[in-house]
Amino acid sequence: MSAIPSIAAPPPKPLLAALGGAARKIPPIWLMRQAGRYLPEYRAIRAEAASFLDFCYDAKLAAEATLQPIRRFGFDAAILFSDILVVPDALGQRVGFESGEGPRLEPIDSAAGFKGLREELDWARLEPVFETIERVKASLPREVALIGFCGAPWTVASYMIAGRGTPDQAPARLFAYRQPDVFQALIDRLADVSADYLARQIRAGAEAVQIFDSWSGVLPPAEFERWCVRPIERMLKRLRAATPRTPIIAFPRGAATQLAKFASLDGLAAIGLDTAVEPRAAAAALPPRLALQGNLDPIALLAGGRALDEGVERVLQGFAGRAHIFNLGHGVLPQTPIAHVERLVARARGAG
């Protein structure tokens, strides 16, 4: 019996190849918040749902929003259109979104408040998310990968306690100092249900997942270790046990000097880098098995022109020679001109 070479296997999707550690001459590209308000076709369908959360829970609309930027720009990955706050919502906390103001939750600031939440996610509530993934998978071009996501425990907890986004997470930090045991229990619960949530996204068809720790940059190092690094490690363990092969990206925004703490976590395929990270320094400091994702300043994309061109070049050169996924250092801003995104894609692919 001689081995018969497979002639039918398609080449791996560029995103998954990079997440596997392969350096590519032209890095795969997708952008955080690539679906959303800067697209006229998004604004058109957004009007079809009463609230933002209704929109996220409408599988048809959410799938369409997920696909729109793929059709328009040909990105190498689609990312599930949803919100990190579906997790507190599915734990029973009241979550709403005020137009132009961002999320508003019924804030919880006591052990009793957390006791009132569910132990497990309300899977029926989240069913439309998984249906969204199935719908997207059915119509995604074969070379485009689908990314699922959730918020990291610290970031989600900071919203749950403050009831809104906060520049400094003061309410959550104060709560964690005053009632560390209660806060630890909340963080552990969030880590476990979030890992289960990602596993379920993967079973529905997500080919990679990203954990967004958008608000980790202001914690002192000991608190950063306890509330950001360890909970993500806990998620990785649980998720690895459920789905051993799906690559996991962590995006610890603001981690700065503490990025290396993530590099040593078992089971992490990639780290998303924010705008403040120096590409060359990160490329030199982090192990080559890790793919690095990022990190063009979204404001350079908004500005366009020379700022955009120089920014793209700096990112490409900084990560050249190692596994790299081109992305922004934070999400696309709503005012971003579409022509700037087209230019970014063309230049990142060497055609601009």
**Binding-site ranges for a copy of itself (CB under 8 A):** 167, 170, 173-174, 177-178, 180, 217-224, 254, 256-258, 275-278, 281, 295, 297, 299-300, 302-303, 305, 307, 311, 314, 329, 333
Nearer to a copy of itself among residue 68 and residue 336 (C-beta): 336
- H or E element: which one contains 252? strand 248-252
Torsion sign over Cα 265, 18, 209, 205: negative
Active-site annotation holds for 33: yes
Q: From the CB of 303, what's the least distance to a copy of itself, in Å?
A: 4
Catalytic residue among 38, 57, 159, 197: 159
CB of 143 to a copy of itself, least distance (A): 30
Active-site option among 37, 164, 314, 349: 37
Smallest distance, a copy of itself to C-beta of residue 28, A: 22
The active-site residue, picked from 33, 135, 230, 234, is 33
Q: Measured from the CB atom, is 197 or 227 closer to a copy of itself?
A: 227
- The answer to whether 38 is a known catalytic residue is no
Please state the closest distance from residue 121 (CB atom) to a copy of itself, in A: 30
Between strands 95-98 and 102-105, the pairing is antiparallel
Give the residue with the Cβ less far from a copy of itself, 74 or 305: 305
- Of 173 and 200, the one with the shorter C-beta distance to a copy of itself is 173
- Secondary structure E strands in 131-225: 145-151, 208-213
Closest Cα partner for 282 from 307, 333, 318, 247?
A: 318
**Which of left, alpha, beta for 5 (phi over 0: left; psi -120 to 50: alpha)?**
beta
Encoded tokens for 12: 């791996």
Q: Are strands 77-79 and 145-151 parallel, antiparallel or unpaired?
A: parallel
| Strand, helix or coil for residue 35 | coil
Cis-peptide into 295, omega within 30 deg: yes
Q: Which residue has the tokens 């560390």?
A: 180
Q: Is 159 a catalytic residue?
A: yes
Least distance to a copy of itself, CB of residue 218, Å: 6
Choosing from 46, 72, 314, 349, the catalytic residue is 46
Token pair 């706050």 in the structure block, residue: 85
Residue 253 annotated to the active site: no
Which amino acid, 139? S
Closest CA to 15 of 34, 1, 36, 43: 34
Give min distance, CB of 15 to a copy of itself, in A.
24
One of 58, 76, 83, 213 is an active-site residue; which one?
A: 83
Closest CB to a copy of itself among 30 and 175?
175
Angle CA 51–98–154, to nearest 5: 100
For a copy of itself, the closer CB: 70 or 328: 328
Closest approach of Cβ 12 to a copy of itself, in Å? 31
Which residues partner with 326 through β-bridges? 29, 294
User: Of 135, 125, 268, 269, nearest to 204 (Cα)?
Assistant: 135
The DSSP code for 29 is: B
Shorter beta-carbon distance to a copy of itself: residue 99 or 257: 257
Q: Which H/E stretch holds residue 292?
A: strand 291-296
For the annotated catalytic residues, the residue numbers are 33, 37, 46, 83, 159
